[in-house]
Amino acid sequence: MTIPSALDPAVAVRTALPDVLLDTVEFRGETTLVVARERIAEVATVVRDTPGLVYNFLSDISAVDYWEPYGGWGERPERFAVSYHLLSMLYKRRLRLKVYVPEDDPVVPTIIGVWPAANWLEREIHDLMGIRFDGHPDQRRLMLPDDWQGHPHRRDYPLGYETIMFSFNADEIMKHKPFAKE
Amino acid sequence: MVLQTPEKAGEVYKWEGSVEELKGLVTERAITGETMLLNMGPHHPSTHGVLRLLLELDGEEIVSCLPDVGYLHTGIEKNMEHKTYEKCVTLTDRMDYLAPMSNNLAFCLAVEKLVDLDVPERAQIIRVICMELTRLNSHLVWLGTHALDMGAMSVFLYCFREREIILEMFEMLSGQRMMSSYIRPGGVWRDIPPEFMPALEKFLDYMPGKIDDYEKLLTNNPLWIDRTQGIGIIEPDMAMAWGVSGPSLRGSGVSWDIRKAMPYSGYEQYDFNVPVGEHGDVYDRFYVRVLEMRESVKILGQALKRLTPKGPFRSDNRKFVPPPRSELGQSMEAVIHHFKLWTEGFSAPDEEVFAAIESPRGEIGCYLHGAGDNKPRRVHFKTPSFMHIAALPVMSKGHLIADLVGIIGSVDIVLGDCDR
């Protein structure tokens, strides 16, 4: 069996799906394809199934919040971004797909149908960053209690701290601890 | 649905709302009461930490398994956004507390990639030694606890005896037994102390015989084979689709090791094999790890030979790496660099990188997004335990509840690693 020679992912995606690729970034030898948010599942299917790409392993999904404490998100088109890190075991290389997600409509189509591994990775982002994945079958929180308010990994969520407990302030602190509610 | 508890016998409770939530997660048979819902954990010795499993049981057979994680969520990623890059290293130790050096390395490789920092040869050799000692350390704890779960008590005691020697060597290197923070951006914290090399040589003579001893206790033990062969089979396709990595993936017959395929820290200069299983069951994952321990000893021996000529153990790029203590008394620049790096830290560009290494458990990936100043904008760790627990429902379906304990043990999860 001969292995088809490796293709440039940007060219292959542009051939298969015109007008889906918004930008291509190269940094320190890593390729990032910025794609249209609504069509991430199609792009994922293409890069998984096209001979010459075969990104068969989903390494990671991570989200980033570009909000700055004293301003907006500068040059970036939207506040949030979700990055999909794919691995091709055949060609021994990695690829990052990136979608920008607006603040007022933080929804991305799920890719759980392409890689089941996306199941918990998407739930984690939903829980901690507040980006919903449309079509995900299990939209409960993953890490935090179900009654938690807010999404801690957003930049506008304060870090918080634990007050040191002494006998004189113990009651006051215990009153405000985030115990699970009834 | 009506629930009655013994102390409130006679009173009738209405359980409101929760049935709807359970629909889709468990089968309809659980809601009618035909199958039993059983809570396992979070404080259960065989869940290796604080993992809660909600099991739906038909007799002793698992119909569905719902893992519930987050009991050890400590907001490490959030904390890192408020710390300089040097300070973040100490937090990475606390994630996977059985393999702290692997987390250090994943993070440091990401930082080095982001700021384009070179690491000297000697530092890379020391890193490889740390990685392989960590692998042995982690596999010893895994072997001991996995065997203990399956009822083989004595293996646990032998494994922890050998682990103690490794922890003593970590103490020589870093002053700490577990939370070592030894690997730093640009190299390692300090050069290896003179007593380390004889200790490692002695350990390398001692260890292969001990691995033989573990194998004598388990490999051909009929009870062990009965409990592990044919249990918890992961097909290779399924393993890759669910993001299973490391020895658990290799146990399924996929020859994928990042050390071999996409080498980092000079792993391409070492001669070692990648053991691969055949059936993808609990036994194969056990045997792959045992063989990996032997390969680690082999790599350590080669690294030890290359360690002889002295050399720099961290980068001399003073914009990123603090100067050695000895320079502070003589050089004004050294004092300035020392002060700047330990107060303000160094700046990284507003770009994103991803670095992945082969940890004892699988692929640890570090996604690092700089912010153009001295603190990261976002750090995200892809951890193998997280992916393995996510795949647990698929692995455990149709097995007996006693086998579930073996399956959890065989994919080698650490809950600190999963929850972060």
Task: Delimit the domains of chain A by residue range.
Answer: 9-175
Q: Which pTM was predicted?
A: 0.88
Respond yes or no on whether ipTM tops 0.90.
Answer: no
Q: pLDDT tens digits for A140-154?
A: 888 888 777 788 888
Quick one: which H or E segment has residue B385?
A: helix B384-390
Residue type, A182: E
Q: How far is CA A37 from CA A9, A12, A114, A131, in A?
A: 18, 18, 16, 12
Query: Which residues make Cβ contacts (< 8 Å) with residue A70, sequence separation at least 6?
Result: none
Contacts of B352 in chain A (CB under 8 A): 27, 32, 64, 83, 96
3-state secondary structure of B126: helix
| CA gap A86, A47 in Å, rounded | 9
Reading the block at residue B386, the tokens are 């997280």
Chain B positions contacting chain A at CB under 8 Å are: 21, 24-25, 69-70, 73, 75, 77-79, 81-82, 113-114, 116, 240-243, 245, 254, 256, 261-262, 351-354, 356, 363, 365, 367, 369, 377-378, 380, 382, 386-387, 389-391, 394, 419
Instruction: State mean pLDDT over B400-405.
Output: 86
According to the model, what pLDDT value does residue B14 have?
39
Domains and CATH numbers, chain B: 76-419 (1.10.645.10)
According to the model, what pLDDT value does residue B55 have?
86
Q: pLDDT tens digits for B165-199?
A: 999 999 999 888 888 889 999 888 888 898 998 99
Q: pLDDT-derived band of residue A101, with 50, 70 and 90 as boundaries? A: very high
Q: In sequence order, which ranges of B116-235 are alpha helices (DSSP H)?
A: 121-149, 153-174, 196-218, 222-228
Shortest Cα distance from B129 to chain A (angstroms)?
25
Q: pLDDT tens digits for B274-311?
A: 898 888 888 999 999 999 999 999 999 999 888 877 88
Q: pLDDT-derived band of residue B20, with 50, 70 and 90 as boundaries? A: low
Q: pLDDT-derived band of residue A11, with 50, 70 and 90 as boundaries? A: confident
Q: pLDDT-derived band of residue B13, with 50, 70 and 90 as boundaries? A: very low
In CATH terms, the superfamily for domain A9-175 is NADH:ubiquinone oxidoreductase Nqo5 subunit (3.30.460.80)
- Averaged pLDDT score across all residues of chain A: 85
Q: pLDDT-derived band of residue B2, with 50, 70 and 90 as boundaries? A: very low
Closest C-alpha to A159, from B81, B154, B25, B274: B81
